């Protein structure tokens, strides 16, 4: 089976123990993460071969990041070596009515300084069937935008499917910058994931009768958004996750998939959150898995939604569940009873 390629930036995640605030912390849990890396790990757990493309410094920290990926069976042969540092992410987990908080320290990281010539695209794509990237990656720097565009062009030349999760990050760029860059990149995209903030902030398309802060979500409004995105940018599949936040600890989770003029909605899950970071990445991995596996649209959506539901129960950012565990939830086994 050919591989799924993830292109992005890898970071070190530092989290206070449990639900401590950063100002209370005297130590941190250390974990390696990155949106596209999360997708690769999830797919590898499902049995899909993957490779990760990034740029990391030639030191013990960079080597440990590579070792972490290899532990989960990810091909790291096309990781470029260079630069002085890996970016940092500080995560303060929320609880009840206190939201989670993320602080980035990633300026001048190795990947932020990457250029298209750092990568051998023939080697990257010689055994690939899919390329996945997020809106986080081109937001890092002008040269990284060139890297992403070059990757998309090389992928399309080879008939490789391209997926993108818009993943707007206000701390990385303005809405004007995001729209200018992402509108250009969307011409290469076959599968797009965009939640309510992404669609509005990046593409200027807002779901009607929806207010995520108050928890009011209108499915018809999201279908309209997906239809407009699909027709405007020529993207066959557009998906969105639908998160109704009761509090930082409890959410109602579902999703919608729009494909060639028809909309599909998933079942809803009431979830008590252990860690929500990586929830969107696990959804993306589920979509990719379903499409590659030849599932119909409804089954693909249910698999992706169930996979991301399970991710909310797992510490740190990798979704360490198997395809069988996801299908068990899809098929209605949601009791959480001990498996003996």
96-141 confidence digits (pLDDT tens)? 999 999 999 999 999 999 999 999 999 999 999 999 999 999 999 9
**Adjacent-strand bridge partners of 243:** 253
Segments in the chain forming alpha helices (H): 35-46, 60-71, 121-125, 142-157, 175-185, 196-203, 219-233, 279-292, 297-311, 323-330
Any idea which of 6-15, 145-154, 273-282, 317-326 has the lowest mean pLDDT? 273-282
Predicted confidence at residue 338, as pLDDT, reads: 47
Q: Which of 82-119 are b and which e, b meaning 16 or more Cβ less than 10 Å from the residue's Cβ?
A: ebebbbebbbbbbeeeeebeeeeebeebbbbbbebebb
The model's pTM: 0.94
**CB-based contacts of 90, cutoff 8 Å, min separation 6:** 13, 14, 15, 22, 28, 102, 103, 104, 105
CA dihedral 111, 37, 136, 254 (to 10 degrees): 180
Rounded percentage of the chain residues whose pLDDT exceeds 70: 95
Token match 């002008």: residue? 142
pLDDT, tens digit (0-9, with 9 covering 90-100), for 2-60: 999 999 999 999 999 999 999 999 999 999 999 999 999 999 999 999 999 999 999 99
Q: What is the CB neighbour count within 10 angstroms for residue 308?
A: 31
Q: Find out whether 242 and 263 touch, Cβ atoms under 8 Å.
A: no
Query: Given its phi and psi angles, is residue 96 left (phi above 0), alpha (psi -120 to 50 degrees) or beta?
Result: left
- Report d(CA 2, CA 4) in Å as an integer: 7
- Report d(CA 163, CA 132) in Å as an integer: 5
């Amino acid at each position: 089976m050919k591989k799924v390629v993830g292109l992005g930036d890898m970071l070190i995640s530092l989290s206070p123990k449990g639900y401590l605030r950063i100002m209370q912390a005297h130590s941190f849990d250390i974990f390696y993460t990155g949106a596209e890396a999360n997708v690769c790990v999830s797919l590898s757990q499902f049995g899909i071969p993957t490779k990760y493309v990034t740029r990391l410094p030639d030191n013990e920290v960079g080597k440990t990041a590579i070792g972490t990926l290899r532990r989960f069976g990810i091909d790291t042969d096309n990781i470029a070596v260079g630069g002085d540092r890996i970016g940092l992410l500080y995560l303060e987990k929320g609880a009840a009515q206190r939201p989670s908080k993320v602080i980035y320290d990633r300026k001048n990281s190795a990947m932020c300084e990457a250029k298209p010539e750092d990568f051998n695209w023939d080697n990257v794509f010689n055994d690939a069937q899919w390329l996945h990237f997020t809106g986080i990656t081109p937001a890092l720097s002008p040269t990284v935008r060139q890297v992403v565009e070059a990757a998309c062009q090389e992928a399309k030349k080879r008939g490789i499917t391209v997926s993108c999760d818009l993943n707007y990050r206000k701390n990385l760029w303005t809405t004007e910058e995001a729209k200018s860059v992402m509108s250009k990149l969307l011409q290469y995209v076959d599968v797009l994931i965009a939640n309510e903030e992404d669609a509005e902030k990046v593409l200027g398309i807002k779901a009607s009768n929806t207010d995520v802060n108050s928890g009011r979500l209108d499915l018809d409004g999201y279908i309209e958004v997906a239809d407009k995105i699909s027709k405007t940018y020529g993207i066959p599949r557009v998906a969105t996750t639908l998160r109704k936040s009761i509090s930082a600890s409890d959410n109602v989770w579902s999703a919608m998939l729009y494909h060639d003029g028809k909309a599909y909605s998933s079942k809803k899950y009431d979830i008590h959150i252990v860690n929500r970071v990586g929830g969107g990445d696990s959804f993306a991995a589920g979509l990719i898995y379903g499409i590659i596996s030849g599932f119909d649209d409804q089954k693909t959506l249910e698999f992706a939604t169930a996979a991301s539901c399970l991710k909310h129960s797992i510490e740190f950012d990798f979704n360490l569940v198997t395809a069988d565990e996801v299908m068990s939830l899809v098929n209605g086994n949601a009791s959480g009873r001990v498996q003996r």
